[in-house]
Each structure stands twice: as C-alpha cells, then as structure tokens.
C-alpha cells in the first residue's frame, strides 16, 4: 500500500479555537500546487483519512479538485497531538485489507513527522512544510519504506500559476 502523508496548507494564525483555523489564500495555492504535481502520479486515492480540524478539511477540499477519493473519513486519530503509534497501527490495518491501494492522510505537525518515523523504522521524524507531502510504501510484515518528502517550494518551478480551480476558501 502507498501511504501519502500530507500536512495541511498554511492556516490563519488565529481563530476562536485551533480547530477552526482556516486556510489562507497562500495555503490554498500551496495545496493546489501539490495536487497538480501529484495528480499525474496518483489519479485517485482508494481511501482518504482527514483530521476533523477545518484547515485539514479545506486542504482535502482543494486537493480533491485534482485527485478523487473513493472513501473519505474524518478521524480523531489525526489530531495534532495524537499518538503516532496508534495512528500507524490504523494505517497498517488498512494496509492488510487494501494491499495495492493508495491512501491519503491529511493532518498536522507534529503528528505527520512522527507518523513517518513510526511507520519507517530507522527514519527520524521529518519536518513537513505547510502542504508538504511524504510517500511511504508499506509491505506486509515489513517496515515502511520512506520514498520521498516534497513541498510547494520544490514543485513551484514546474507551474507558473495555480489553475483557476484554486479558489480562496477563507
């Protein structure tokens, strides 16, 4: 199973609660850049797991304009300070059921970094920029393989401007 772990796009610094912080215009553009880059490689996700926080939901909304998702679930196991080992166990269970699938996780720092570390023995938790995305390949009975970590700053040179589909959601 291929697991794509994504940090939400840039969010507003303040809201009445952390859970209600929306994406900024820059955050929407970051997500669209990543979606444009990833879509030719992964035209669809078999399962999408999203943090219930607003900025993560909005990240998925932007991404889904470019890449479809068959099943979307909002999971408390993806909150910023969730236990990465518990979340990794959830992903490994999906991996047993859906061996040749593409799964997307949309969450927050520090969880996204710790999740890579938990899935890939011997890998230190990477730092994700906003809208950064990692690919981890899971094989039954083995640790995950950390394939790559990319961000909007890496893919921006390939796209002059985000497409008009990237509307500001704030």
pTM: 0.93
List, in order, residues 6 or more apart from 152 with CB less than 8 Å away. 29, 30, 33, 34, 129, 130, 131, 132
d(C-alpha 112, C-alpha 106), whole Å: 8
Question: Which fold does the domain 2-158 belong to in CATH?
Answer: Rossmann fold (3.40.50)
Residue 167 pLDDT class (50, 70, 90 cuts) = low
* pLDDT tens for each residue of 3-59: 999 999 999 999 999 999 999 999 999 999 999 999 999 999 999 999 999 999 999
Query: Which backbone phi and psi does 90 adopt, to 5 degrees?
Result: -60, -45
* pLDDT tens for each residue of 102-141: 999 999 999 999 999 999 999 999 999 999 999 999 987 7
């Amino acid at each position: 199973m291929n697991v794509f772990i994504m940090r939400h796009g840039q969010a507003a610094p303040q809201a009445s609660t952390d859970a209600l912080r929306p994406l900024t215009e820059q955050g929407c553009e970051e997500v669209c850049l990543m979606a444009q880059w990833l879509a030719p490689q992964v035209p669809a996700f078999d399962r999408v797991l999203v943090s219930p926080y607003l900025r993560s939901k909005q990240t998925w909304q932007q991404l889904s304009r470019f890449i479809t998702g068959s099943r979307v679930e909002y999971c408390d196991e993806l909150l910023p300070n969730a236990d990465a080992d518990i979340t990794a166990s959830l992903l490994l269970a999906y991996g047993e059921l859906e061996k040749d699938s593409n799964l997307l996780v949309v969450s927050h720092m520090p969880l996204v970094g710790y999740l890579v570390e938990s899935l890939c023995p011997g890998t230190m938790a990477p730092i994700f920029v906003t809208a950064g995305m990692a690919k981890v390949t899971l094989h039954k009975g083995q640790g995950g393989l950390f394939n790559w970590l990319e961000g909007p700053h890496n893919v921006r040179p390939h796209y002059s401007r985000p497409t008009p589909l990237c509307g500001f959601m704030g």
